[in-house]
């Protein structure tokens, strides 16, 4: 029998409606895969076995009656940032210990209304603050991908012989160690990306504040789209930086991402930043010609020290779109170089404000103190992890008297200039912008260089933060493998609320690049 977990959402939808399989069978296949693999991958922080079976049973009943919703019977994983009624929702933070909301986020409510089945809650960087999924209170998520071969550089080894270098036999042993090194899946939506890549859910919800959908998608060979700010409701989603956060899907391919976003997106009276615009049938855009479309190539994204593999991938993507009939035009986004520093002022400032509510008084962790102020301090000291504390302190500093004008207001002015750069390019007739998704492939868990220098970690977002600062849609598509067999992605950036063009163009890239799957070593 076909491995049901290998079915895309589109393929599973067809089989469910043709009654070739049932949602119960599909759900059991995923639950079995999770039970086998999650102790290794650590993608789920809780698995809702009973709830999944109940939802699958209800879906089968609706399918039998011909009342199927758009996602009827499709098992999904939900990032731990989305409130799920009566189910663990902790943003993977100790400070929210034991919290189970009495309400449902709008995004997940939309999915359940369309018949989707919840498999459980997915691991993530604490409060979505991170680029590697290593800041989670529940430990790091492990990327399902492995290096296919060792790097060829000769380096000193703890097993080195005379002269500090390894012999041929020792080199082989060292190569195996390098090959088997655990890699990060990216963050903050690392659990979502890893679960999709490892066939532990058909698709997953995710959120993107500075690249947290697109970067992990690129690291895991999956497709991730951050829609235009306001396309998906933020109600019931734990806030990191309110003016930047946006929900979106991570999926196996472009079609599945289009199907998921159609269900996730909606206007919401409970979220005044959600936009009242019709949600198009994104799937219908796939397969449409891109002939005559103008694709912009921004010179500012050719950063110093960018690996040749990334540059070569970018050139390949340009060639694919040109072969499909698109017109390639060079463009300039001059304020791009200021995006990352401006982002790391705006985002921590908003985080400092949003996270002030976690004080041990109303819900979650409480550490007793000699008075209420001492209780606040002890609770927050014990409840927040190192990276969250770092960003709260930065944010509090830039919002403080004497520094608000010098830092925060200046960063917001830069943000306006970044947005204007994009507007001028789109007004000049460019339809979509093509860039790399990340500056490298996935790096190792507990990478010493990354963990010793937070700035190096923050640089993973160098190609993605501009999209959030300008409120634009962006999609990451798998486009190739690096020299070690790890996935690399390309990013497409579109006009506001023109996700259809992104899906249409991304599908062309996907068809040219082919599909990429990791070799199963985890179950």
Burial 482-503 (b: 16+ CB within 10 A, else e): bebbbbbbbbbbbbbbbbbbbb
Q: What single-letter DSSP state applies at residue 332?
A: -
According to DSSP, the β-strands at 203-208 and 246-251 are antiparallel
188, 192, 197, 233: the catalytic one is 188
- 275 CB-contact burial (10 Å; exposed 0-12 / middle 13-18 / buried 19+): middle
79, 121, 262, 294: the catalytic one is 79
Cβ(283)–Cβ(258) under 8 Å? yes
CA distance 367 to 147: 43
Cβ(93)–Cβ(137) under 8 Å? yes
Phi, psi of 233 (to 5 degrees): -65, 145
Helix, strand, coil % in the chain, rounded to nearest 5? 45, 15, 40
CA distance 8 to 491: 22
DSSP 461-507: GTTTHHHHHHT--EEEEEEEE-TTS-EEEEEEEE-TT-HHHHHHHHH
Residue 291: other Cβ atoms inside 10 A: 9
Longest dimension (CA), the chain: 75
CA distance 5 to 198: 9
CA distance 232 to 433: 22
What is the gyration radius of the CA atoms in the chain, in angstroms?
Answer: 22
* CA 254 to chain centroid: 15
CA distance 197 to 395: 34
**Is-catalytic flag, 188?**
yes
Half-sphere exposure at residue 33, Cβ-oriented, CA atoms within 13 angstroms: 25
For residue 170 the two structure tokens come to 């020792």
Nearest by Cα to 440 from 460, 457, 456: 460
Residue positions annotated with a catalytic role:
79, 188, 212
């Amino acid at each position: 029998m076909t491995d049901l977990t290998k079915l895309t959402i589109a393929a599973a939808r067809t089989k469910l409606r043709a009654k070739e399989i049932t949602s119960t069978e599909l759900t059991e296949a995923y639950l079995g895969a999770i039970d086998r693999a999650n102790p290794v991958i650590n993608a789920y922080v809780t698995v809702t076995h009973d709830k999944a079976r109940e939802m699958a049973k209800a879906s089968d009943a609706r399918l039998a009656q011909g009342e199927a919703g758009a996602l009827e019977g499709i098992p999904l994983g939900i990032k731990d940032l989305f409130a799920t009624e009566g189910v663990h929702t902790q943003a993977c933070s100790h400070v929210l210990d034991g919290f189970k909301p009495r309400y449902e986020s709008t995004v997940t409510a939309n999915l359940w209304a369309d018949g989707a089945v919840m498999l459980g809650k997915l691991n993530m960087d604490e409060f979505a603050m991170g680029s590697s999924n290593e800041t989670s209170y529940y430990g790091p998520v492990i990327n399902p991908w492995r290096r296919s071969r060792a790097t060829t550089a000769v380096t000193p080894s703890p097993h080195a012989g005379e002269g500090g270098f390894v012999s041929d036999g020792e080199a082989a042993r060292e190569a195996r160690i390098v090959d088997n090194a655990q890699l990060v899946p990216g963050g903050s939506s690392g659990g979502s990306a890893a679960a999709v890549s490892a066939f532990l859910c058909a698709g997953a919800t995710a959120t993107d504040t500075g690249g947290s959908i697109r970067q992990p998608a690129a690291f895991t060979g999956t497709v991730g789209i951050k829609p235009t700010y306001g396309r998906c409701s933020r109600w019931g989603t734990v806030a990191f930086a309110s003016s930047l956060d946006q929900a979106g899907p991570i999926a196996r391919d472009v079609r599945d991402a289009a199907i998921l976003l159609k269900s996730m997106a909606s206007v919401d009276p409970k979220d005044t930043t959600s936009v009242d615009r019709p949600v198009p049938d994104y799937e219908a855009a796939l397969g449409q010609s891109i002939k005559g479309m103008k694709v912009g190539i921004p010179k500012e994204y050719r950063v110093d020290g960018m690996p040749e593999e990334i540059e070569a991938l970018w050139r390949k993507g340009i060639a694919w779109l040109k072969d499909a009939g698109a017109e390639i035009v060079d463009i300039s986004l001059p304020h791009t170089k200021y995006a990352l520093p401006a982002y790391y002022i705006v985002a921590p400032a908003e985080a400092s404000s949003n996270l002030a509510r976690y004080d041990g008084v109303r819900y979650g962790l409480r550490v007793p103190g000699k008075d209420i102020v001492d209780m606040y301090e002890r609770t927050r000291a014990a409840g927040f992890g190192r990276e969250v504390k770092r960003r709260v302190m930065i944010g509090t500093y830039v919002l403080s008297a004497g520094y608000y004008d010098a830092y925060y207001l200046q960063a917001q002015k830069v943000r306006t200039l970044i947005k204007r750069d994009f507007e001028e390019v789109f007004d000049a007739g460019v339809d979509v912008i093509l860039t790399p998704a990340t500056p490298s492939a996935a790096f190792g868990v507990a990478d010493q260089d990354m963990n010793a220098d937070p700035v190096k970690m923050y640089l993973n977002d160098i190609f993605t933060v501009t999209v959030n600062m300008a409120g634009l849609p962006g999609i990451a598509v798998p486009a190739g493998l690096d020299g070690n067999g790890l996935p690399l992605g390309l990013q497409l950036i579109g006009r506001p609320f023109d996700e259809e063009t992104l899906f249409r163009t991304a599908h062309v890239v996907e068809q040219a690049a082919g599909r990429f799957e990791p070799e199963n070593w985890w179950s």
